[in-house]
Amino acid sequence: MGTGALNRRSAMIATAGLLLSCSGFARAHEIVPERGLRFGLTPVFLTSDLELLGRLQAYLQRTMGVPVSLITRRTYQEITALLVSRQLDAAWICGYPFVAHRRDLQLVAVPLWRGKPLYQSYLIVDRDRPAEGLMDLRGDIHAFSDPDS
What amino acid is encoded at 50 in this protein?
L
The verdict on residue 73 lying in a domain is: yes
Q: pLDDT per residue over 16-61, tens digit each?
A: 544 443 333 434 445 566 778 999 988 676 666 778 888 889 998 9
Q: What's residue 119's pLDDT?
A: 72
Cα–Cα distance, 92 to 3 (Å, whole number): 21
The verdict on residue 41 lying in a domain is: yes
* Band (3; pLDDT cuts 50, 70, 90): very low
Q: What's residue 8's pLDDT?
A: 54
Q: Which of 22, 8, 86, 103 is nearest to 53 (CA)?
A: 8
User: If you average pLDDT over every residue of the chain, what do you get?
Assistant: 77
The verdict on residue 75 lying in a domain is: yes
* Band (77; pLDDT cuts 50, 70, 90): very high
Q: Is the pLDDT of residue 148 over 90?
A: no
What amino acid is encoded at 102 in this protein?
R
The verdict on residue 28 lying in a domain is: yes
The verdict on residue 130 lying in a domain is: no
* Band (129; pLDDT cuts 50, 70, 90): confident
Alpha-carbon 54 to chain mean position: 16
The verdict on residue 128 lying in a domain is: no
Domain that holds residue 17: 3-119
Specify the number of domains making up the chain.
1
The verdict on residue 19 lying in a domain is: yes
Q: What's residue 70's pLDDT?
A: 92
The verdict on residue 148 lying in a domain is: no
Q: What's residue 100's pLDDT?
A: 92
Phi, psi (deg, nearest 5) at residue 136: -70, -15
CATH number at residue 73: 3.40.190
Q: pLDDT per residue over 78-112, tens digit each?
A: 999 999 999 999 998 888 888 999 899 888 888 78
Q: Is the pLDDT of residue 1 over 50?
A: no
